[in-house]
Structure 1
Amino acid sequence: MPQILSKEIRNRIVSGGENKMYTISDFADLNNDSLVTRVLSRLEEEGMLVRLTQGLYLYPKQTRFGIVKPTPYEIAQAVAGKDHAKVIPSGAMALNELGLSTQIPTNAVFITNGTPRTIKVGNQTITLKRAVPKMFSFQSTLFPLAITAMRDLGAANVDDTMATRIIEILSKDDKEAIKADFLKAPAWIRKRLAPLYS
C-alpha cells in the first residue's frame, strides 16, 4: 500500500505540471498525512521537489537559467490555500502588483482572512496579517489592491499624479464590479478616486 500511494503522489505531481506548489493538504484524500510527509521529503532529497518553507514544496520549472521560483504572491496564495483562505497584497506588494513600483520588498506583506503567520523563504519574509472580512467582499480584482496601496502610502502622499495613475489602472478592470466596490472604500479614497465616476 505505501508503494502504491507513493507512486500516486509522484504521478499527481508530474501530471500537475511544472512550477506548481504542494502541501500535505493537497493529498488529504489519501488519508495518510505521515506517508505524504515522508514522500514529499524523499522527493526533495531526490531533487524532484524544492522545499520552499516548512510543509511547502515546489515542483520546479527548469530553464537554462535555473529554477523558475514562484513570486511572493504565489507563495502567499499557496500557504493561505491550506486554510481555504484568501490573500490580498498590501502596501509595497500592492504597489508592485498594480505596476506602480518595480521593487519587490524583502518583507512582503499580505492581508488574509485566514491564519496570520510569517514565512521565511530564503532571504525573504512573507507576512500574512489578519484583516477584517470587509476587505474580502470586493468584486473586482484591482480595487482591493488600490485600497491597500493607498492606505500604505497615506492620504498626504497620494497626490494628483499618483491618483491619476491608479484611476487609469482601475479603469481597465470590470466597470460594474469597480462601481460596486467604490462605495465600500474609505471616504478619503473615494474622494481621491472620484474621477472614476465623475
Structure 2
Amino acid sequence: MSAVADRIMKRVRGKGRGWVFTPKSFIDFGTRGSIDITLSRLANAGDIRRLYDYPRQHDKLGAPSPDPAYVAKALSTQSGDRLAPSGAAAANRLGLSTQVPARASYATTGRSRVRQAGGRSLTLKHSRAPVPDNAPDSVNAVVQALAHVGKDNIDSDKIRHFAARLDDRDMRRLAQARAEMPGWMGDVVLKIGAARNG
C-alpha cells in the first residue's frame, strides 16, 4: 500500500465505519489526480466502497447501505452547496405531516440532481427557500417546512406548532435568517417569535 493510501485509510478508520467521503476529504494529501487513483485502488481492493464510504459491518447482513444523511453531507462538502431536509421530510419530522418521503431527499442551494450510493437513491433538489448558512438542522427544517406548507396554509395552530419546536438559540438564528427569506416567510417568523414569547 502506498504512503498516500496509508494516510487515507488512517483518516478513514479514524472517522469510523459509516463515514461517507469524497476525494476532497483528502486533498491535503496530494494532487486531485493522485487522490482519485488511490481511492479507486482502495475501492477495487474492497477496503472502501464507492461513492466513497467506509462501510459499517453487520455480522449476518454484511455491509448495509450508507446513511443518506452522511451521503448528503459528503456531497455538500464536495460541491460547497448548503443542504437542508426537503420540505416534505421537514414537515414530517416536525409533525406537520404523517407522510414519509419514499426516497431520501434534501433541499440544496446547488443544482438539482439524483445520486446513487450503496443501492440507494438520494435526491438533491434546488431549494426555492433559503438554506441559512451554519444554521442548525432544526432551523433549516422550519424554513423548508414553511416553504412546503405554503403561505396560504399557515394558520395560528401551525405557528404555535413551530414555536414549540424551537429553543431560544434556534429562534435567534431563525430571526437572523429573515433577510434571506421571502417577505411572507419573514412575517411568519415574527409570528413564531411572538408565539414563543406569548
TM-score between both structures, scaled by the size of structure 1:
0.74
Deviations 1:135-161 (A, max 9, x none): 425755423321211111113333444
Instruction: Note if 1:111 corresponds to 2:108.
Output: yes
What is the 5 A alignment of 1:117-128?
A: 117-121=112-116, 122-128=119-125
Map 1:116-195 → 2, pairs under 5 A: 116-121=111-116, 122-129=119-126, 135-136=131-132, 141-171=137-167, 173-181=169-177, 186-187=183-184, 188-190=187-189, 193=192, 194-195=194-195
Secondary structure, aligned partner of 1:44: helix
Question: 1:126 aligns to what SS in structure 2?
Answer: strand
* Alpha-carbon offset, residue 172 of structure 1: 6.8
Unpaired segments ≥5 residues, structure 2: none
Distance 1:163 1:66, change over 3 A: farther
Q: In the alignment, residue 123 of structure 2 is paired with which amino acid?
A: I
Displacement of 1:36 in angstroms is: 2.0
Supply the AA of the counterpart residue of 1:120: R
Q: In the alignment, is the contact (CA less than 8 A) between 1:143 and 1:181 conserved in 2?
A: no
Q: Per-residue deviation at 1:59?
A: 0.5
Question: Are 2:191 and 1:196 aligned?
Answer: no
Mapped to 1, the partners of 2:35 and 2:95 lie a distance apart of: 39
5 Å-filtered alignment, 1:19-168, equals 19-51=18-50, 56-64=51-59, 65-98=61-94, 100=96, 101=98, 103-106=100-103, 108-112=105-109, 115-121=110-116, 122-129=119-126, 135-136=131-132, 141-168=137-164
CA distance in 2, matches of 1:130, 1:161: 25
Q: Percent identity?
A: 21
Structure 1 residues 158, 120: closer, same or farther in 2, change over 3 A?
same
Which range is displaced more, 176-185 or 103-112? 176-185
Which structure 1 residue ranges, 5 or more long, are not aligned? none
